[in-house]
Chain A
Amino acid sequence: MSFHHPGFLWLLLLGLAILILHLVRKGGRLQWVPFLPLWERALLEEGARPGWRRVQNLLSLLFQLTLLSLIVLSLAHPFIIELVEERRHFSLILENSARMRAAEKNAKTRWNLARKKAFELLEKKGGSEEATLLITSPRPSVVIPSSRDVWKLKRGVESVDPSYGGGDLRGTLSLARQMKPLGEESRVVVVAGSKERDFKGERGEGIHFLNVGEREDNIGFTRFFLTRSGFGAGYEVLMSLKNFGREARRVSLVLSTGEKREITLPPLKEAEVVTEGKEGGFLLFSCRILEEDGLALDNEVWGVLAPIQRVSVALVTQGTLLPCFTSLLNTFSEVFKGKPAIHSPESFSQSVEHYDLVLFDGWAPPELPRGRAFFFFQAPPPWEKDFPAQRTGMEESIVTDWLRSSPFLKSLELSDLFVQGVLQGEIPFGSTPLVFSTSGPLLFHGSERGRFYLFFPFRLTQTNLPLLPAFPLLFRNALEEFFRIWVPKEPVRSWPQSGNSWEKWDKKVPERFQGCFSTSEEHPSLAPGLYQRTLEAGGKEILCHNFLNASESDILPGQERKGEGDVFSRRKVLKPRSLRSLFLLAGICLILLEGGLYGWTRRMR
């Protein structure tokens, strides 16, 4: 037995003091008595157990010396060096990305092999060894925190299914390191689903890679973008395919449009396929690789484009801008144009309320009619009776400033612009001026009782050159903003096809989305902020992020298959074992024992 603080052992000398005190006390104080036989007669009965009395005294001395020894030894922090089986911890990382759904020869899927391997590993685990079960997909997460219970860990393995997306080995390894108990040797065992891939970045000491699955001839989609082409006239598709194998492959692609393409993929190379179509409205697009490989999951992609939303537009014009408007509106496939209206003012307000957008050119009703949105071009505004507008005449109003951040004025350059014959007046309450000139606001928009309006207080023909060619752009901006605000669109969606039947995809959407879109979540088993992992989402126009992206899903490490026996080899090491608590416990027991004895002897007396 050794001591961390041997200096405290000097306190054992206090035992000598106790011994001396005991001897002095044993001698007793000299007391004179007048007649000793009286005492002797009394103590003849009391002292009938002198032997027990001596034993009691001796026990008391022994108790005091032992208690002192225990206290001093506890202070000295004793410890012994013993040969013990090293306490170890290992983290079992199961790759459960989509590739684990691949069919294998001797098992239904590659995941079955991985699960079987995990069971074998857990059964080999030492009884005192703790294991943490982690998975890689859709994000690194802990399934079972540190546990010695093999059955619990096995149930944890059984509760996991392969995902429909990629995985994050780097993040999972990082998480495993964070979960490692302090002061314990920890190993990480990764059960991955492929072989002969280099994962140089994550190879390190204490990390063992066990591979399951044989097939490695995988060719799969790695990116898939589906979006509408300009002005919604058609659609565009961008697909990336990658050959994960070591040999060049020639594959055939069958598109839902009936088109068939053949491409050649070099080993470990990626190829892009771009296609387009002119089909409008609802579109279901899919593409399938006609190739049998190890992983059927990434052999098909598909996406959905929502049907085109039609917008009805009425044009109330005196004829000056009709060609311009007609040509502009024709660029919007979703716009249903109404005829130029010639209505009496009384009946007009009732007839235009069925249109989504009404354009007034040079004339406007006395009141803002029912409806959703109104554009006014050089028309006296309906609120003129409240705020009479005056025309400025032919003097030039020069633009002084404009809101460059406004979506209405996107891509417009209005400097050096002047207009003539501007209607001047106070802009109504709640309106936002967009362009300022020397004679007042030139353009403003606002809303009143849920109705959107945009007001152009000048004629396009009475401006200088810069605005005239830019007017279609301004008008398009206004229409797009109107569409953005007033016309909700069905988002375009696309998912990877996993080989399941069509009827099931509705139920699978949330889970499949996990692998495709960005996540920023905390694992419930960890403290807040301990772990945070963000997967990259695409840009705005990318409605579905690529799945099985090589950079994310290729978690497969180098395949130097290490001896599995090394993973669970048990070592015996010399470790100091503190005896302080043992001594303290013995001291407490001794005090309790002495207290019990004292109480018992008192009762006996």
Chain B
Amino acid sequence: MKPKEGIAEEFLEPSFLQKLEYLDIVAKKIFLGEMEAGKSGGKRGPGTQFHDYRNYSYGDDLRYLDWNIYGRLDELFIKEFEVEERIHLNLILDTSASMSFGSPPKIEVGKKLAAALGFIGLSNFDRVNLLAIPSRDEMVSFQGKKQVFPFFERLSSLRCAQEAHFFPSIRDAVTHLRSKGLVAILSDFYDPSGYQKVLRFLIYRRFQVFCLHLWDPLEVDPPFRGMAKLRDLETGRTRLLRITPSARLRYIESFQRFCRHLKGLCREEGIGYISIPTGVPFDFTLISLLRRGGLLR
């Protein structure tokens, strides 16, 4: 597929897009889909992928009788096929103000990542839902390769602005989803009210959740020294602090504890967790990270 110029290049290189076409999304659970798609859902029914044989029973569609076996064994067997399900890929991109931190900003990395995942999803005839939190906009759905560029346009229109409050936005958006599917949250998970409630809610709603934790190296090793006026990007709250070497170490420890907690929660709840530093080169490093997290195969 040849992307439209000016839109796709904002996120991905054309050569990279071509490589992404060969990737596939793995849905670890069986989802019920409205339309057939390129994924085997494990459910028997009309389809093209042969699954098994069974004895004929009254009322079976004669079209699925295997007449060759009947000729050899003089018994009636019905061929069963797997229904190819369409999985729903729900991309939740954090557009809170904290995502504007970093070099490059985490939102940019998040957008590129979402674009890559969305592209892969759309290339495999999946439905891709894009939700930007914490904005009050409704979740936008995209389906089919033709929707790639509208999807990209939608992504590029997203801006960081507000304070992160995941739960209300995600709850409202997910409530309207009729089908379960894959949820990939691209965020730094800096939510003053906590991310646990959201993740548990999604698990409760039987989504397969992936946390793509974006962080910048400057968050791990802040270059601050001495007296510093620290201002929160989201709340604008300011604290005058003396950044001593020991204080810096304690902050680093605190950040690592935050990451460990998120990772531990994901492991407990069966949520895929991928840690994505912004400084890592995007293309193959990202792919390797996604493979390691089980999001791609």
A→B interface (CB under 8 Å):
25-43, 45-47, 53, 605
Q: Which residue of B lies closest to A35 (CB)?
A: B190
Contact of A25 among B188, B227, B232 (CB under 8 A): B227
Check B231 against A33 for contact (C-beta < 8 Å).
yes
**Cβ-closest 4 pairs across A and B:** A28-B227, A36-B232, A34-B98, A34-B101
Contact A605 B244 (CB under 8 A): yes
Interface set, chain B 207-236, CB cutoff 8 A to A: 216, 219, 222, 224, 226-235
Q: State in angstroms the CA–CA spacing of A13 and B74 once bound together.
A: 114
B2 interfacial contact with A, CB 8 Å: no
Chain A residues closer than 8 Å to B281, beta-carbon distance: none
B245 touches A605 (CB 8 A): yes
Min CB distance B192 to A, Å, is 7
On chain A, the residues within 8 Å of B245 by CB distance are 605
A25 touching B226, Cβ below 8 Å: yes
Are A29 and B228 closer than 8 Å at their CB atoms? yes
A33 with B222, Cβ < 8 A, contacts A42-B251, A42-B253, A43-B251 known: yes
**Distance in angstroms between the alpha carbons of A36 and B234 in the assembled complex:** 9
Chain A neighbourhood of B62, CB < 8 A: none
Tell which of A25, A26, A32, A40 touches B239, judged by Cβ atoms closer than 8 Å. A40
**Could you tell me the dominant secondary structure of chain A's interface residues?**
helix
Which B residues are CB-close (under 8 A) to A46? 244, 246-247, 250
Assembled-state Cα–Cα distance A30/B188 (Å): 22
Given A36-B235, A38-B251, A605-B245, 4 additional A-B pairs, CB 8 A: A25-B226, A38-B254, A38-B258, A46-B250
Q: What is the bound-complex CA distance between A131 and B224, given in angstroms?
A: 69
The proximity string for B residues 250-264 relative to A, scoring 1 for CB distances below 8 Å and 0 otherwise, is: 110111001000000
Does B73 sit at the interface, judged by CB under 8 A?
A: no
> Could you list which residues of chain B lie within 8 angstroms of chain A, going by C-beta atoms?
98-99, 101-102, 106, 188, 190, 192, 216, 219, 222, 224, 226-235, 237, 239-242, 244-247, 250-251, 253-255, 258
Contacts of A40 in B (CB 8 A): 239
10 contacting pairs across A/B (C-beta < 8 A):
A27-B229, A28-B240, A32-B233, A33-B101, A34-B216, A36-B231, A36-B235, A38-B190, A39-B241, A39-B254
**Bound complex: CA A31 to CA B230 (Å):** 5
CA distance in complex: A566, B234 (Å): 91
CB of A313, distance to nearest CB on chain B (Å): 114
Query: Is B247 in contact with A42, judged by CB distance below 8 angstroms?
Result: yes
* B232 proximity list for chain A (CB < 8 A): 33-36
- Docked Cα-Cα span, A314 to B153, in Å, equals 155
Asked whether A605 lies within 8 Å of B230 as measured between CB atoms, the reply is: no
**Residues in A neighbouring B226, C-beta threshold 8 A:** 25, 28-29
Q: A31 to B224: give the CA distance in the assembly, Å.
A: 8
Closest to A53 in B: B242
Which residue of chain B is the closest to A36 with respect to CB atoms? B232
When the two chains form their complex, are residues A36 and B251 in contact, meaning their CB atoms are under 8 A apart?
Answer: no
A601's nearest neighbour on chain B, judged by CB, is: B244
Q: Is the CB of A39 within 8 A of B251?
A: yes
A43 B250 Cβ-Cβ under 8 A: yes
Whether the Cβ atoms of A36 and B239 lie closer than 8 Å is yes
Tell which of B188, B219, B254 touches A42, judged by Cβ atoms closer than 8 Å: B254
Least CB separation from B247: chain A residue: A46
Residues of A within 8 A of B235 (CB): 36
Q: How far is the CA of A40 from the CA of B241 in the complex (A)?
A: 9
Bound-complex Cα distance A29 to B242 (A): 11
A32 touches B101 (CB 8 A): yes
Query: Chain A contacts of B242 at CB under 8 A?
Result: 28, 47, 53
> Which A residues are CB-close (under 8 A) to B241?
28, 39, 43, 47
Distance of A293 Cα from B186 Cα, bound (Å): 130
Residues of the A chain whose Cβ atoms lie less than 8 Å from the Cβ of B233: 32-35
In the docked arrangement, what's the CA distance between A42 and B244, Å?
12
Q: Are B228 and A28 in contact, CB atoms less than 8 angstroms apart?
A: yes
Contact of B231 among A26, A31, A41, A605 (CB under 8 A): A31
Nearest chain B CB to A328 CB, angstrom units: 117
Q: Which of B190, B226, B245 has the most chain A CB atoms closer than 10 A to its own CB?
A: B190
List the B side residues contacting A37 at CB < 8 Å.
Answer: 192
Give A42 to B230 CA distance when docked, in angstroms: 13
The one of B190, B224, B228, B244 in contact with A34, judged by C-beta atoms closer than 8 angstroms, is B190
- Residue contact B239 to A39, C-beta cutoff 8 Å: yes
Assembled-state Cα–Cα distance A38/B240 (Å): 14
Residue of B222, B233, B242 ringed by the most chain A CB atoms within 10 A: B242
Residue of B nearest to A41 (CB): B254
Separation of A195 and B99 alpha carbons in the complex (Å)? 112
Q: Which residue of A lies closest to B258 (CB)?
A: A38
The CA-CA distance from A25 to B226 in the complex, in Å, is 8
**In angstroms, how far is the closest chain A Cβ from the Cβ of B213?**
13
Shortest distance from the beta carbon of A45 to any chain B beta carbon, whole Å: 6
Whether the Cβ atoms of B231 and A30 lie closer than 8 Å is yes
Most buried by A among B240, B245, B246: B246
Shortest CB-to-CB span from B180 to chain A, Å, is 31
A41 CB contacts on chain B under 8 angstroms: 254
> Cβ of B228: which chain A residues have Cβ within 8 Å of it?
28-31
Q: How far is the CA of A40 from the CA of B243 in the complex (A)?
A: 11
CA distance A27 to B241 in the complex (A): 9
- For B98, the chain A residues whose CB sits under 8 A away are 34-35
A47–B224 Cα distance when bound, in Å, is: 16
User: Residues of B contacting A43 with CB < 8 Å?
Assistant: 239, 241, 247, 250-251
Q: Which residues of A contact B99 (CB under 8 A)?
A: 34
Which residue of the partner chain, among A26, A32, A36, contacts B227 with CB atoms under 8 Å? A26
**For A26, what are the chain B residues with a Cβ–Cβ distance below 8 Å?**
227
Please indicate which of the listed interface residues A33, A43, A46, A605 has the most CB atoms of chain B within 10 Å of its own CB: A33
Cβ contacts under 8 Å, A42 to chain B:
247, 250-251, 253-254
Q: How far is the CA of A32 from the CA of B219 in the complex (A)?
A: 11
A46 to B245, CA, bound (A): 10
Q: What A residues does B254 contact at CB under 8 A?
A: 38-39, 41-42
In the complex, A42 Cα to B250 Cα: how many Å?
5
The CA-CA distance from A41 to B252 in the complex, in Å, is 11
Given the complex, which residues of A lie within 8 Å of B255, measured CB to CB? 38
B227 to chain A, nearest CB (A): 4
Complex: how many Å from CA A296 to CA B169? 132
Q: How many Å from the CB of A369 to the closest CB on chain B?
A: 112
Tell me the bound Cα distance from A511 to B45 in angstroms.
146
Smallest CB gap from A604: residue in B: B246
Q: Which residues of the other chain, A, contact B237 by a CB distance below 8 angstroms?
A: 36
Contacts of A30 in B (CB 8 A): 228-229, 231
Q: Which A residue's beta carbon lies closest to that of B237?
A: A36
CA distance A32 to B98 in the complex (A): 10
Contact of A605 among B102, B188, B246 (CB under 8 A): B246
Nearest B residue to A57 via CB reads B242
Q: CA A43 – CA B99 in complex, angstroms?
A: 23
B250 CB contacts on chain A under 8 angstroms:
42-43, 45-46
User: What A residues does B240 contact at CB under 8 A?
Assistant: 27-28
Quote the shortest CB–CB distance from B54 to chain A (angstroms).
57
- Using known A-B contacts A36-B239, A43-B241, A46-B246, determine if residue A28 contacts B190 with beta carbons closer than 8 Å: no
CB distance from B95 to the nearest CB of A (A): 13
Q: A43-B241, A43-B247, A605-B244 are in contact. Are A28 and B229 (CB under 8 A)?
A: yes
